[in-house]
Every structure is written in C-alpha cells, then in structure tokens.
Amino acid sequence: MKKVNIGLVGFGTVGQSLLKLFYKNKKLILQKAGCEIIFKSVCEKDHYKKNILQKIDKKISFTPDVNTIINDEYIDIIVELVGGVTVARDIILSSLKKGKHIVTANKAVLSQHWHEIFGLGNELNKMVYFESSVGAGIPLIQSLNEGLAANKIIRIIGILNGTTNYILSTMTTLNVSFKTALKTAQERGYAESNPSMDIEGFDTAHKLSILSSIAYSRWIKPQHIYIEGIENVELDDVKFANNFGYDIKLLGNAAIVKNKFMFEVRKFLVSKKHVFSSVTNEYNAILIEGDFSGPVTFIGRGAGGDTASSAVMSDIIYACKNIVNIVEGRFPYVFYDAKQKVETIKHDEICGYYYLRFITIDRPGVLAKISYILGKFEVSIASVYQQEPVEKIHRGASIIMLTHKIEEKKLLKAINEINKLDIILKKTVHIKILEEKGK
C-alpha cells in the first residue's frame, strides 16, 4: 500500500483537531484515501505545543523551522494552518516549488494571491485544496466547484463569518449592546482578542472573494468588494428591526446586475421568515444559485477546530486519492482565466429597500423636515415608526422608516442633507433590506 507523508505547518486549534480526528477515524479515512497516511512532521513556533503533540503521537517530529518540512523530500502534502498572508504565501509558494501539494485553510492568502498560488500550482502540476477556507466543515468549495459545475452562477449570498453572527445573535437574544456581545464572544472563543478582521467585514470579504473567484473563473479580489462591518450596530437597531419582523445579519453578496458583477459585504435586515434568520450564533449559511440548480443553501458551523479539521481531512483524502492514482495535479482543481476582466457595478448604483433610523431631538415638526428632504430625492417611504430609544446612550427620539425601492446613491444624498439638519443628533443609520422572504 502506498504511503503519503504529511507535513503540518501551524499547530493551533485546527491542527490539533486534525490529529485528533485522524486517530479517531483512522480506519475509515485510510479506506477512503486508498493509502497509508503518515503525519510525519509538525512545524510550530510555540515550543510549548511540543508537549501537546507528543501526547498525541510521539513518532511525529516537531520543529520550529518551516524549512525543515518544506525541504523534507519524503513529504508529499503540506497542510498550511498558520493563517495571515505574508508568511503563509511564502510557505505555500516555496512548498509548491519543492514539489509539494498544498492543503490550506487560509482564506486571506488565497483571496489576496489567487493568481500567484493557483498559477504556480497549475504550472507545476501541484494540487492546492482549500475546502476549510470558507464555511469550515461545510462542503462548500467542492459543491460549488464540482457539484454545481454545469451551472452559470447567478448569485452567492450568505452569512460567511461566525464571529459577527454570534455577536448579532447575542445582541438579539440577550438584549445587550455590541460591546457586551463582543466580550461574550471573546470569552467563549468565538472572537479573537483583536477582532477587527471579523467585525469589520474583511474575513467575510475574503471568503466572498474565494467563492466568487471559483464561480466566475477569474480572480475576484477583495478590492472588488464594498465592505462594511458591524462595529457600529446599536441595540436600538436590533430591537427596531425585530419589531418590524427582521434580524440584522452581516452578509456577503455577489450578484450580476446589468451584465456586470456587484460584490458587497454589509449589514442586511433579513426577514424572520427567511432561512438565514434561523441561522444563529457561530453558524454560517450560504445560498448559491445556479441557472439550472436553482438556489442551494448550505448551513453549518462556520468556526471551530473540529469542523475545520473535517474539511482539511477531506482535502487530504482527495489529494491522497489523486496521488494513489498518479493523476495528482494533472487536472487543475480551480479554473481561471487570468485575462478575463472583472467589470463591476458599484453597490450604490443598485436599487434596493432600506431601513433608516433618524436620531432626532424630540420636538414637533421634525418628521416634516425629514420627509421633505426624502421627497426631494424621490425616496418613497413604506412605513414609519417612532419610539423612545432602547439604549439611553443619547437623548432624543428615534424615527424609523422602511423605504420603497430606491437607488442607494439617491438615498445617500438625501441622508447626507438630512444629517446636516440641526434637529439631527447623530449620523442617520441606513441598512439594506434583503428582498427575499423565502429560502
């Protein structure tokens, strides 16, 4: 039976789960891989983790020097779990050059160096698999890349980040502020001590970039994507949205409008009847719509060592099967055309429905002033609601409006003019409303 040697770079939560998974389900994994799999070496800067490794398997060598693994001629597959961009890029490119295949969980490095990584992989006939990079254990990459391969992809939309979903869910269910919810998320391991990649929307953008690059066979860069985060969401908005029958979710959204691409990461009001609304805490949900398949939605844990290791191990099995059959790298896993342009339409050139919250002084005539300006910019209102704020962090009243369909640019002009009124105490909140009520 053929032997495939694995080198593991990065021994954090996912790396440790991976070995735990391997030893627990070894029999079925080897049966499906069709070969003997040997975890030969682990590279990790944190020397303390050597003890953890030795408790799992004393035969696996431990090194703080990644070159030991990259230069090890017996290693067939390098599993890159270090995260970040610069170092990870070096490891992946050097490993490919040394004839290794790659399994990576790293969305940031892929979304930012798509051409370089897959270009080199294809040139050298080496495999680069990355199932865990989006949606962790949800088999999303293979489903999009193979299961839906015959379709033109019409759109991709979803909750791609577990941290922000956890925070927004916590605000809703525990009735707490963003700050408190973030703290809870950090205490439970769902947010990092520096949470900006997640809460500012960059992680969602990286994942949207990867899914879109597969779907459209060209590199969709994070720079193609309009990005906003959830750091300014107030409990007031969560509560008001709830009153109207909506939840607030951070979604990645790729669509084709007027034959151009539109990519955005932003907060949405999602109807409580929509399937995304039932997806709470650290869970992810991604809808991919093909022209023949129709909408297909995938839901699962978007974060956590165990679920990510399930996807990493499936990549290893996939790679092993190809190695055993001596077809590794003969077929590029990801198709892309480096010459294809990415013509985009800006998110604010699109018509949509919006939730608005004006924070005003509590005085007669306020509504008239706001309505006058909205009318001037052709913003038509579907419903209005006025209530005392839930969070007493500013005086005054909140006026909530849901708009009819309007180009966002026009809406922003109106909001800009309204914000200059002396009756406005704080920047007006505007959040897009997801149109679909169904699946």
CB 307 within 8 A of CB 299: no
Question: Of the candidates 148, 356, 370, 399, which one interacts with a second copy according to CB under 8 A?
Answer: 148
- Smallest distance, a second copy to C-beta of residue 390, A: 23
- Smallest distance, a second copy to C-beta of residue 145, A: 9
Interface pattern 251-290 for a second copy (x via CB under 8 A)? ----------------------xxx-xxxx--x------x
Q: Which is nearer to a second copy, 158 or 389 (CB)?
A: 158
Polymer length of the chain: 439
Q: Which is nearer to a second copy, 21 or 421 (CB)?
A: 21
365: left (phi over 0), alpha (psi -120 to 50) or beta: left
Q: Which is nearer to a second copy, 176 or 311 (CB)?
A: 311
Q: CB neighbours (10 Å) of residue 203?
A: 27
Q: Which is nearer to a second copy, 149 or 351 (CB)?
A: 149
Q: Find the binding residues for a second copy in span 28-47 (CB under 8 A).
A: 28-29, 31-32, 34
- Smallest distance, a second copy to C-beta of residue 276, A: 9
Per rule CB under 8 A, is residue 149 in the interface with a second copy? yes
Please confirm, yes or no, whether 207 is among the known catalytic residues: yes
Question: Of the candidates 16, 17, 111, 177, which one interacts with a second copy according to CB under 8 A?
Answer: 17
Per rule CB under 8 A, is residue 217 in the interface with a second copy? yes
Sign of CA dihedral 368, 374, 377, 381: negative
Q: Which is nearer to a second copy, 49 or 274 (CB)?
A: 274
CB 260 within 8 A of CB 224: no
Q: Find the binding residues for a second copy in span 93-132 (CB under 8 A).
A: 131
Q: Find the binding residues for a second copy in span 410-439 (CB under 8 A).
A: 438-439
Q: Find the binding residues for a second copy in span 295-324 (CB under 8 A).
A: 295-301, 304, 306-307, 309-311, 313-314, 317-318, 321, 324
The pair of structure tokens assigned to 178 is: 């963003």
The pair of structure tokens assigned to 1 is: 């039976």
> Cα separation of 20 and 202, whole Å?
30
* Number of amino acids touching a second copy (CB under 8 A): 63
Q: Which is nearer to a second copy, 252 or 304 (CB)?
A: 304
- Smallest distance, a second copy to C-beta of residue 132, A: 10
> Cα separation of 81 and 11, whole Å?
7
Per rule CB under 8 A, is residue 137 in the interface with a second copy? yes
Interface pattern 327-366 for a second copy (x via CB under 8 A)? x--xx---x-------------------------------
Q: Which is nearer to a second copy, 126 or 430 (CB)?
A: 126
CB 283 within 8 A of CB 158: no
Q: How far is CA 160 from CA 229, 263, 388, 389, 437, in A?
A: 13, 14, 33, 30, 19
- Smallest distance, a second copy to C-beta of residue 180, A: 22
Task: Report residue 281 CA to chain centroid gap.
Answer: 14
Q: Which is nearer to a second copy, 30 or 350 (CB)?
A: 30
- Smallest distance, a second copy to C-beta of residue 71, A: 28
Q: Which of 40, 126, 207, 267 is catalytic?
A: 207
Question: Of the candidates 24, 115, 188, 260, which one interacts with a second copy according to CB under 8 A?
Answer: 24
Burial class (CB in 10 A: 0-12, 13-18, 19+), 46: exposed
Interface pattern 165-204 for a second copy (x via CB under 8 A)? ----------------------------------------
- Catalytic residue numbers, as ranges: 207
Residues in contact with a second copy by the rule CB under 8 A: 17, 21-22, 24-25, 28-29, 31-32, 34, 131, 137-139, 142-143, 146-152, 217, 273-275, 277-280, 283, 290-301, 304, 306-307, 309-311, 313-314, 317-318, 321, 324-325, 327, 330-331, 335, 438-439
